[in-house]
Each structure stands twice: as structure tokens, then as C-alpha cells.
Structure 1
């Protein structure tokens, strides 16, 4: 079990944005000896979870992509959600994302980024703790019986201003299936300087319209 947990910690190092990492960077992030990492990476390479490049740097292997694709197959609403994310990103000019809860984390299942130089960049598949951010508060409000989230359920949205990142603001609304079950959180995020009161109201209206359109449609069987 200890070896398995250490291997998972090595894989988790790639969740911080970089596509490749050196042995020294892996050692720094995990706290493991380099010899331990090398030994574990042999097994991870054998099963396709990690690839060692000719320059000695490590990157995730195809097995991780395959498992991620299998994970997404559990969610059948992609054809409904992606067009709305594209519409939001192009209309609002900010990053549009769709999150689902996975245990004590939220996962960015889908996202669409605007065509502008300065934007909030999010990687599909990114996992974040449910401790901060509009999408986190929104998901907790509809999956936990907690008095702290009653106001979010009442107004039907959550707003965060500089919680996870002091430069980023976000607004999230719930997305339901036609039978009333929560599908996830639809969110818009971008530079906090672009989210004044008037802008937040515009974003909120667009988000709720998108969520309603998604909610009226059934997924393909």
C-alpha cells in the first residue's frame, strides 16, 4: 500500500500546470529520495502512466489519458454543455467551465477559453479542493446539508472574488437534468478587475440562460 500511495503522489505532481518534470522537481514535490522515485517510475513507465523523455524529463503517459477518457464517459452531457461553454466564452469574453464534484474535490470536466491574451487558464481534468471558489461553494450548496450554503441555494448562484487566486473572480450556477438532479456547476472566471457590479450581473444572466437551456435537454441514451 505504501508503494501504491507513493506512486500516486508522483502522478499528482503533474497536476500543477507543468507538462514535464525533472527527477529533481519530482523529489522536491514529493519529498522522496531520487532513488525511490526512479524505482517507482520504472513500474509507472511499464504500465504507461509515465514516459521518460530523451532529455531525462518525465511526462504523463497514454494510460492516464485513456483512464481520463473513460472517466468522462460517465458523464453523458458533453454534447449539451460544450456548445454552451463556447457560447459563453465568446459572448462574455471570459473562461467558461463546467465542474462536477468528486469526493472532496471538484473536477473541471469541460472548459472553453476566450480568444484574448489575458484570461484565466484552466486545464480540463484539473482537480481542486472544495475549500474555495464559486464552483466549490455552489457544488457544496447542492450536495451538503449545511446552513452556510442556504443563501446560495436561495439566490441560485455563487460568487467568489479573489478566493483561490487574488487576481481571479468567478461566478457559478447549478446545472440540473430534466428530472431535477444536479449535473454540475457552470462557471465563468476571469480577471477580478473585469468583474465589477454591472459586469457580474451581465455574466450571471448569461450563465442562468445557458444553465436553463442545458436543463431542458435530455442526454442521448
Structure 2
């Protein structure tokens, strides 16, 4: 009986994960294709998810994410209590570099884009706040694994630890380059990682050097502000 309940929960969560591409709504057929579940199963799961506000079924029969997820997401971000500190710094970084700036935190074996300020350029690296990504590949992933407690030893960890930053050149996406630095609090605990990312064809070594200097300034200011709060 316990296994059946767990399986049902995992199927329901898999249904919610279908919206990871950022679409506003999905049809029953699209949910079936992405989840691999039968339509009859999806209808039963969706009914329960609707009842608790995780999904909303529109008049045209398509499904969109419900208000419960927004409420829980807001509570999740509030638990870090960093928005008023991080967002201004992301804005500063975008103004300094013209590229997209993000703040990532680690959650188990994943990293979560907690806050984001997108580049004003028409062609840019776009990612939604709250999106969960693997720790395999990416500048922020390198920082979050190298400076985590206990640190995880990877082929690049020693260099990241020595340099104090991580670089990714087309690792997660062949068209994207990124550079990231750690953010520490007064006790030397890793709170997260600032990252700047852009098209690999324009975010070259010179631009990454400018971004690194700007991020180190932001990380230092955040360290001071976090210290004052403790």
C-alpha cells in the first residue's frame, strides 16, 4: 500500500515537471507525451492536483500551473531572506556587462535559480526563476560543488578553489558561456553563487574578465550585508 501511494505521488510530481519548459499551458495530449502517462491516469491525477490548487484547467481544456505553487515558491524564496540584497546586485551586474545575471543556491544534488535579471539584449540566455538544474556542468555548478561543505572533488575543483571562480564554455548549452563566483556569509558558509551568462560568441575572455571584476565587487558587498545581519 505504501509503495502505491509513493508511486502516485511521483506520477503527480512528474506531471508538474512537464511544465519545466516555461510554457503557460499544456494540453492533455502534450502532458501525455511528456510524462509518458496514459491520458486516463493524467485526468485522475490532474483532478487531485486541481483540488489542491497545483493545477488549473482552463475553459479550453488546457492545463496551467496553479496558485499553490506560487505560494509555496514565495515561501521557499522567503526562507532565504535575500531578495532585497540580491536583486539590486543582479541589476548592477547586468548594467555593467549587458549579459544575464543570476543567483543560484544548492538543493541536494541540484542547483536552483533563485533570482534572475535577464539581459536587455534581444538574443540572450534566458532562464526562469525557480528552475532546477543539474550540478553536472555550468559555472555556478562548479562553484556550488567546490565550496560546499564538505566540498566535492571534481577534475576542475582545485583550479576553481585556487582561482575563486568557475567558468563554463558550452558545457550545459553549446551556445552559452558563463562565469560564477561564490557568496559567503560572516561564518564563511557558502550562501550561493552569482553567475553571468551570455552567448559564447560574444561573451569572450575580455568580457568575462569585466564580468568577474563586477561580480567580485557584488560578492564583497553581499558578504558585508550578510555580516551586518548576523
TM-score (norm 1): 0.96
Picking from 18, 31, 37, the partner of 1:13 is: 18
Matched-pair contact (CA < 8 Å) for 1:178–1:217: no
Picking from 81, 90, 113, the partner of 1:85 is: 90
Q: What is the Cα deviation at residue 17 of structure 1? A: 1.9
CA distance in 1, matches of 2:67, 2:29: 23
CA distance in 2, matches of 1:97, 1:147: 23
Matched-pair contact (CA < 8 Å) for 2:98–2:119: yes
Query: Over residues 129-153 of structure 1, what are the superposed CA-to-partner deviations in whole Å (9 max), with x where a residue is unaligned?
Result: 1111111111011122315312101
Q: What is the Cα deviation at residue 178 of structure 1? A: 2.2
RMSD: 1.2
Q: What is the aligned partner in structure 2 of residue 166 from structure 1?
A: 174
Q: Unaligned regions of 5+ residues in structure 2, if any?
A: 1-5
CA distance in 1, matches of 2:175, 2:117: 19
CA distance in 2, matches of 1:19, 1:140: 32
Picking from 192, 195, 203, the partner of 1:195 is: 203
Q: What is the Cα deviation at residue 114 of structure 1? A: 2.3
Query: Over residues 69-113 of structure 1, what are the superposed CA-to-partner deviations in whole Å (9 max), with x where a residue is unaligned?
Result: 111121022211110000101221000000000011100000111
CA distance in 2, matches of 1:28, 1:56: 16
Aligned length: 221
Q: What is the aligned partner in structure 2 of residue 204 from structure 1?
A: 212
CA distance in 2, matches of 1:204, 1:119: 18
TM-score (norm 2): 0.93
Q: What is the aligned partner in structure 2 of residue 145 from structure 1?
A: 152
Q: What is the aligned partner in structure 2 of residue 22 from structure 1?
A: 27
Match of 1:37, SS? Answer: helix
